[in-house]
Chain A
Amino acid sequence: MRMELQIRGVSKTYSNGVRALDDVSLTIAPGMYGLLGPNGAGKSTLMRILATLQDPDEGTVRLGDIDVLSEKERTREVLGYLPQDFGLYPGVTAESLLTHFAVLEGISHRTDRKETVEALLRRTNLWDVRSEKLGTYSGGMKQRFGVAVALLGDPRLLIVDEPTAGLDPVERVRFLNLLSELGERSVVLLSTHIVEDVSELCSHMAVIDRGRILLEEEPFRAIEQIRGRIWRRVVTTGELGRLEREHKVISTRLLAGRKIAHVFADARPGPAFEPVQPDLKDVYFSVMADENGRSVDLPAESQP
């Protein structure tokens, strides 16, 4: 059974006036889907709406034949959700708590439940510490435990909200590997502000900022679209201001103590510039740079 997640015209304004989502529409097919955006872009709000924990002011969300907004119970049956920020009962062991969640997921048969819990604990590499109290877990272990909970009941829709924030590089790799396998049968929606998460994992992505979708594309194609239009040069701090006035600087980064500016331009902006093999970061930054008021359009005809 293949399910497609369709988000149509979803808007949400908080009581303090913040417009967290503004007419968001997305179509998400099974596979890994990355939702990229800076902090406060509205990612978590969207995730919570998809996870049945919040209701939008307007819009519809459908998962296959399920109306997510009105059929919450059905949605939860097929839903796995790993919140951005969660805690665990400190005095309870991993096995015992996962068993509890398994029952909540409806896995009531003892043998089924034992198998499921064991399999998930093994897959998340927590089997050896299953009898430890959760209060003693490190951040990465907690995060993996969260994945185990999210994976209970073989979810068709897995929502993972900023899962890699705060993980050390080793834990992050392990974690992403785990996620990468899930995209085969399910819709996996990964929100993050770390571009590498998306570039390494996702077959589709969207960029969101201030509640609006700025870009919806396959990462590979998005990179193709700006190929040959990203240039870089070393700048001093004094030069940067002038450079920004004259060119569309999408990012500056430090490399071995020197500041390197990336500039978006159809042709080489000057002799000091050299061409760059663009990556997803350049895509992201150029989109964000547009959003921040720059008047350069990504030309549609430049698609290969």
Chain B
Amino acid sequence: MKWLEMVRFELAHQLRRKSTWLLFGLFLFPLVGVTNERLITARNGEILYNAPLLIAESGIFMGVVALLIVALMAGDAATRDVQTRMEPMMHAAPVGRAAYLGGRFAGVLILAALLSSAVPLTHVLVPLLQPEAAEGVVGPLQTMAYLQSYLMLMLPNAFIGTALLFCFAAIVRHPMASWVGVAVLFLATQLTGVYVGGILGRWELAALIDPLGWIPVDLMGRTWAPPEFNQRLIGWDAGLLANRVLWITMACVLLFLTLRRFDFGGGAPAIRWWQRNRLRPAGLGGATALPVDGPADVHRTPGIVPVARRVHGPLGRLSQTLSVVRDSVREIAPRWTWLGAPFLVLMQAVITLEGLARAGGGAPVLPTTGLVVQTLGPVAGNAPPPVVLVAILLPIVLAGELVWRERDNRTAGLVHSAPVPDGVLWFGKLLGLWLVIAGLHLLLAMGGMLAQVWLGWYDLDPMLYARLLALRLVTPLLFSLFALSIHVIVNHKVVGHALVLALALGPLILAESFGIEHPMLVLGSTPDWHYSDISGFEPFLGAVLWFDLYWTAWALLLASVAWLFWVRGEERGTGGRLRLVRARCEGARAAAVGVSATLVLLIGGVVFYNTNGLNEYRSGDEQADAFAEYERRYGQFDDVPQPVLVATELAVEVYAGRGEGEIRGVHHLVNDSNLPIDTLHVATSLQVETRAVELDRSATAAVVDGTLGHHIYVLAEPLLPGDSLKLTWEVHHARHGFPTRSITTSIVGNGSFFVVADWIPLIGYQPGRELLGRAQRSERDLPERRVIPPLMDPDAPYDRHAMDYLDLAVTVGTTAGQIAVAPGELVQSWTEEGRSYFRYETTAPIGPGYAIFSADYEVSRERWGSVDIEVLHDPAHTANVPTMIRSMKASLKQLTERFGPFPYEVIRMVEYPAEGGSLHSASATIWYRELFSLFDPERDPRRIDMPFAVVAHEVAHQFQPVPARMEGRVLLSESFAWYAAMGVIEEEFGPEHLGRFLDFMRTSYLRPRSRADVALLRANDAFLGYRKGPFAMYALREYVGEERVDLAWRRLRERHASHEPPFATSLDLYRELQEVTPDSLRPLLGDLLERNTFWELSAEEATVAATEDGQWRVTLEIRARKIVVDTLGTETGMPMDDPVEVGVFAAGAAGVEGPTLYLRVHRLQTGPQTVTITVPRRPARAGIDPRHLLIDVRPGDNVVDILDSSSASK
């Protein structure tokens, strides 16, 4: 009964508070926003909006968002009596511990459950309210899906979360500690996924110990076949149930311990638990040691109060401010917290190490300062969301504590009656908060430096740290100013926290779903930027600083308003406060509001002039509208025969300092069709200003559409088959101020780079500009469109959009001292009018996707046969250049032997400034992002040389046939490139190194994923292209022989050497491969390419016995099965009669197979079977398919230790 009374009281208390309802209301914004977003996503995808798995996922996500609000209530419930000093009274009441805390907890839990139930309700309601948007993407209502999501995920999470938050607050005796609980939950889930799953590969364990149940649900999503999503329920999944039971138990244990631990003494509520042991004896001693009676002393002392000089004016204000700063720092970072500083430094060092590992995709990279700063904790742009969340919560919590410091401690009467101006208190608190945040970042920087030194990198570059951190600090500093101001103005702690939280997270999760895109409207948003060793802060710095200034002006305005509303004294009511505000609205305070408002307008005007005046601003929808209009208007001309581009001459000017570029060019076009052509369609770029387009024969411009980028010229005389045409044009690129998003990096002071096709006029209608999203298309009444043509599309191999190979002659002028690069041989370079000029000419036709570079390059050269090898790189980025050259040379040498001649006289690798380390291979030129130059293979624990392998892969692209734009394309490009590179790697480093490299590539199999997929011939994604395809090729190489497989590829390349349609398809490849494959292996070839086949091979047991003649007979029990999985996930067992390798190995070092004693192909059937092998030496291990040639998602059980039965039987 007492317990029920506590529950009832708690519920009534919370529901009576306005803030509770406000918080509930606040929750609706993200809830509706996110739910709506999911509806939009569903319309663009294949999976229904109310697929049970998606319901579960959004349940977990919104449940966690709800926890942020529950945290405020839980913190309050757990510490209310401490805060209101009713504690002794409550504790004196004859209420048991369980009733006291349990009642409170249950009250909050009920509210949390209520709040959670809004999630499924909203999910059901949102599509009902917009039937048009919901059409076709909402399946029939599955009550069970909602029920399971609620009962298995949301309710347990509410329980686990509330317990954690409640206990944190109760133990620390501070309501805000419960937000720490939310952060802990977030981090636990995140880290479990990253480390236990991603790094250790123990996904089952990860699914068990993830407190939010996110990972088990995520795993379902990865392993289900796509069609399952719409119907299949998450069910009462055993793994998920185990997870839930585990965590509910943990939560109960935590609750129990808290109950025991909770201090019911209530004697000294002001002392926190960590101080208790240290202070109590001293305090008591001090009190009793006092002289009991002092008045006699007092009477003897002459003079009542010492008279001290007061310092007025700025100096006095300054020392007051500093004292407030000190006091504020003492509040938010008491001395003991600095004990945590070394821990923080260490933690950041670990995060940095992990971040560096992630940057290189598992391959170690050199820890340069530019790179390390990216990983610096909360401020980093690419920090994981939980870290960002902590970074946002921290200033909110601290700001709230500071604003409420006097009132929470009831010192307001003393402080507010002191002769301190409001401004001093306000500014002092702000400075204190800033100091702590800056100090925190300093510690993080030290962590980064520690990581660098740990990795043996001593070029710490503190100045660069300072500059990067200064830029990154702006956001948290401004944000803390916003938070402080809001707390002052709102003058309600809980509501203040919630509002600030909403303002902080709103932009992250809401802006887009409510159609707010302009960054001037999204609090604190600045253009994305990154630092480059090559181009520095260019071209972002100006824009970023202007946006920072803009938000600073807003922050100042808010701060000035807060100065007006500054709470001093006892006027609590709105009326009283407003009267106070009116009285204060004069002098400095009014001026501050006026000046900052003017600043907002002025700076906002400048920013707006840049984003919307100098640049055209288009929302995402307007952008999409334009593309739709382009398709509607000019799509009809897609099939109109157009002349083909055979040669281009360019005169390029790069004005590095001004961010301007200019190209004057001539296209040589030929009518290679057998019909006369009477109109010419020219697609102009939207990224540049196209100034002139002229034909060398008389024509009228029927359409000149600069907005959508399409010109139509009607030729006076048709272009007859075989005739040619010259198109002369001029484009101009300039950066005018700065746009709202994606600031163009084409031309910068150092490190200019652009793909020419993005700028120049192209021939014909461009289907590449068409919208792809299903919803985007249907909203604009466009017909459905496939993302990529299917394998059987007879027209696709003839599609020659952006496929024309051409001869190119380029003259590039650039700033003196820089080297400009274009495709082809450098035939001349000279200086003219203080600018450097370079003339390049190709010796063989190149593909249309070529680029132009200009930077202060260092050139490293080498020669292989008649081919010049060049690496153009930043002078500081030299570490991998020798490896790159070695790899290019080795690749050219081997690949020309295997696949035919390299058509160009020069091959270049060119570095350019951009985030990441990816590479791109165009004809004769491979360009790479700067991170690639920082790869550090020496430290690679996997003992593979990634830079060498990747360069070999890119060089191999030079030897691929031109693939048609359709399904199977990645098999011809990426799978080929890896297959070809394998040979280069093997020749350079030996088969063991290749084996280790294959092991690394195989890790993507070990990640849980659905086996439902298309056959390789229809491959269209990275996994099939970069991983499964190469493995199929590797298997063929081992079964059929490298020479024969190479022959197939060589023939395919030769057949398509003309670069003319029809382009190569995976079916063409299949035919070539069939040609070279003996009949006996044809079924295997089919299994690898034509069907999505999986083998389930395992060695059950192996025994050995010594024979009479001193040999060893191994008896191997194996099990084999073969299945074909279709795209729906249906598994069909196939009768197996396949050649599979069986191997026996001698003892080797730990973790490595010993010398091979036996390795031969056996023909194996479905089911268990026994293989007997006699080997000359004592064997240690034996197994089936030990080299993992066949696609088997469990390669770990293929080989087993051999049991010695001979000794047992004797």
Contacts and interface: CB of A to CB of B under 8 A. Distances in A.
A and B: bona fide binding partners:
yes
A81 B417 CA distance: 7
Given A105-B418, A119-B305, A181-B304, A153 B310 contact: yes
B305 A108 contact: no
B271 A90 contact: yes
Contacts of B326: 100
Contact of B307 (A52, A83, A154): A154
Interface string A136-165: 111001000010011111110000000000
A133 interface: yes
A79 B411 contact: no
A103 interface: yes
Interface string A177-204: 1100110110000000000000000000
A235 interface: no
A174 B298 CA distance: 9
Nearest to B408: A87
A113 B282 CA distance: 27
Interface string B389-425: 0000000000000000000011101111111110000
Contacts of B1151: none
Given A76-B418, A77-B310, A136-B280, A87 B411 contact: yes
Given A92-B330, A107-B311, A76 B287 contact: no
Nearest to A155: B305
Given A87-B409, A151-B305, A76 B271 contact: no
B571 A54 contact: yes
A109 B324 CA distance: 16
A295 to B, nearest CB: 37
A182 B304 contact: yes
Interface stretch (A124-132, A207-215, A256-264, A269-277): A124-132
Contact of A136 (B287, B320, B416, B418): B287
A48 interface: yes
Contacts, number: 193
A240 B270 CA distance: 48
Interface in B283-328: 283-284, 286-287, 289-295, 297-299, 301, 304-312, 315-316, 319-320, 322-324, 326-327
Contacts of B411: 86-89
B575 interface: yes
Interface residues of B, number: 65
B573 interface: yes
B306 A100 contact: no
A185 B315 CA distance: 29
B1163 interface: no
Nearest to A145: B414
Nearest to B574: A15
Given A85-B410, A107-B309, A153-B310, A133 B293 contact: no
Contact of A104 (B270, B290, B292, B320): B320
A18 interface: no
Contact of B316 (A101, A106, A115, A122): A106
Contacts of B409: 87-90
B829 to A, nearest CB: 69
B621 interface: no
How many residues of A sit at the interface, in one of the four size bands? 35 or more
Interface string A92-117: 10000001111111111100110110
A53 interface: yes
A132 B293 contact: no
Nearest to B276: A135
B826 interface: no
Given A73-B419, A87-B270, A174-B293, A146 B414 contact: yes
B570 interface: yes
A125 B294 contact: yes
Contacts of A119: 305-306
Nearest to B281: A136
Given A104-B418, A104-B419, A133 B283 contact: yes
A290 interface: no
A170 interface: yes
A129 B304 contact: no
B570 A53 contact: yes
A176 to B, nearest CB: 9
A150 B327 CA distance: 19
A174 B294 contact: yes
A135 B283 contact: yes
B664 interface: no
Given A15-B575, A128-B290, A120 B306 contact: yes
B1160 interface: no
A54 to B, nearest CB: 5
A106 to B, nearest CB: 4
B580 interface: yes
A51 interface: yes
A103 to B, nearest CB: 4
Nearest to A88: B411
A173 interface: yes
A154 B306 contact: yes
A48 B571 CA distance: 11
A197 to B, nearest CB: 15
A55 B570 CA distance: 9
A79 B279 contact: no
A123 interface: yes
A123 B416 CA distance: 24
A91 interface: yes
Nearest to A181: B304
B413 A136 contact: no
B290 A125 contact: yes
Interface string B1035-1066: 00000000000000000000000000000000
Given A133-B279, A138-B287, A141-B287, A149 B306 contact: no
A86 B420 contact: no
* 7 cross-chain pairs, A with B, having the tightest CB-CB distances, nearest first: A136-B283, A83-B413, A53-B569, A87-B410, A90-B270, A106-B310, A177-B295
Interface of B: 268, 270-272, 275, 279-280, 282-284, 286-287, 289-295, 297-299, 301, 304-312, 315-316, 319-320, 322-324, 326-327, 330-331, 334, 409-411, 413-421, 568-571, 573, 575-576, 579-580
Interface of A: 15, 48, 51-55, 73, 76-77, 79, 81, 83, 85-92, 99-109, 112-113, 115-116, 119-120, 122-123, 125, 128-129, 132-133, 135-138, 141, 146, 149-155, 170, 173-174, 177-178, 181-182, 184-185
17 contacts: A51-B417, A55-B579, A76-B418, A79-B419, A83-B413, A89-B331, A104-B324, A108-B310, A125-B297, A133-B275, A135-B270, A136-B282, A136-B283, A136-B286, A154-B305, A178-B298, A182-B304
